[in-house]
Copies of this chain bind each other. A is one copy, B any other.
Amino acid sequence: MQISSRFTLAIHIFACIDTFENEYKVTSDFLAGSTNVNPVIIRKILGQLKGAGLIEVARGTGGATVTRPLNEITFLDVYHAVECVENGELFHFHENPSTSCPVGRNIHHILDDKILRVQNAMEKELASITLADIKQDTEKYLSAENR
């Protein structure tokens, strides 16, 4: 299983807000155009980002804006905002291992710390990347187009 495209969509949304907020009003329809994804899906993601306090969305008048400096928003913040698994558990366990088998009744003890290590490694890397990096590379690629 893969991490849902909501994550890459959310990053795409932030790149659009930063790139276009001075030129256009960045609405769900605008974002739907850039991502080629249904506006209602965009609004749901905007709602999750808003719920996490990363953006504000103007009711009535429309448009999304970022609430903090971009270097203070990490990929991990976005990931947590948008990925909706219980406790953010990366690995899915089989539900009811046998309690009459000694391995079955201990498999959680045996595995939990190792799985946590893997999840922590991933989250640490996610936390090391910020939206400022995205801004920088977006500008790099866009200016490379104009030559």
Taking Cβ atoms with an 8 Å cutoff, the residues of A that contact B are 1-5, 7-9, 11-12, 15-16, 19-20, 33-37, 75, 83, 85, 89-98, 101-104, 106-107, 109-111, 114-115, 117-118, 120-122, 124-126, 129, 133-134, 137-138, 141-142, 145
Contacts and interface: CB of A to CB of B under 8 A. Distances in A.
A114 B101 CA distance: 43
A14 to B, nearest CB: 10
Contact of A137 (B90, B110, B122, B129): B110
Interface residues of A, dominant DSSP = helix
Contacts of A142: 102-103, 106
Contact of A36 (B3, B8, B94, B133): B94
A106 to B, nearest CB: 4
A20 B101 CA distance: 11
B33 A101 contact: yes
Contacts of A134: 110-111, 114
Given A85-B2, A102-B145, A142-B102, A8 B92 contact: yes
Given A94-B36, A97-B34, A122-B122, A103 B2 contact: no
